[in-house]
Amino acid sequence: MLDSIALGPQALSNYLLLAAALFAAGIFAVIARRNAIGMLIGLLFMLNSAALNLAAFSRFSTVQGQPGRLEGQVSAIFVIVLAAVQTAVVLALVLAAYQTHRTVDMDEMDELSH
């Protein structure tokens, strides 16, 4: 394990471990947080960790003489843009629910119709 610490940015496993840590933090935020916007922050962490995984595998796939397979970077770009768009839609939902329930506390919104 110490040689992967010494390699740093040249070892694929370090990027995958960073993405795994971010994903675990995102899951904890979605499960343990009561605020709807806190859950949204966890969702953003999960999406970004997936995009980081894609970009890391794109960097470390070797094709002879070519700069690796760039599909991973393109997929990472799409995931980033669509994550921001999903944030906008989820915030619109949260604010629309707020207009009905007058709270963003998810534990109090446990009925479909007010």
Partner 1 sequence: MTLSGTIFWFVVLVTVGSALFAVVARSMLHATLSLCATLLGIAAVYLFLHAELAAAIQVLVQAGGAVLLILFAVMFSSKMQGEWWERGRKPAAIVGGGAIALLLFFVLSATIHALSGPLLEASGGAEAIRAPEVRDVGRMLLGKYMIPLEAAAVAILAALIGSMVLLKKEAR
Q: Is residue 112 close enough to count as binding partner 1 by CB under 8 A? A: no
Q: How far is the CB of 80 from partner 1 (least distance, A)?
A: 5
Distances (CA, A) of 53 to 36, 47, 89: 26, 10, 25
* Cα–Cα distance measured from residue 64 to residue 12, given in angstroms and rounded to the nearest whole number: 19
Report residue 99: phi and psi, to 5°. -65, -25
Task: Check residue 52 for interaction with partner 1 (CB under 8 A).
Answer: yes
* 43 forms part of the interface with partner 1 (CB under 8 A): no
Return the number of the residue (31 or 112) whose C-beta is nearest partner 1: 31
Q: With binding defined as CB under 8 A, does residue 9 bind partner 1?
A: yes
Half-sphere exposure for 32 (CA within 13 Å, toward CB): 6
Taking the complex as a whole, how short is the minimal distance between the CB of residue 113 and partner 1, in angstroms? 14
Residues 11-30 vs partner 1: string with x where CB under 8 A?
xxxxxxxx-xxxxxxxxxxx
Instruction: Output Rg (C-alpha) for the chain, integer angstroms.
Output: 19
Does residue 46 bind partner 1 (CB under 8 A)? no
Three-class SS of residue 46? helix
Q: Using the rule CB under 8 A, which residue among 38, 50, 101, 109 binds partner 1?
A: 38
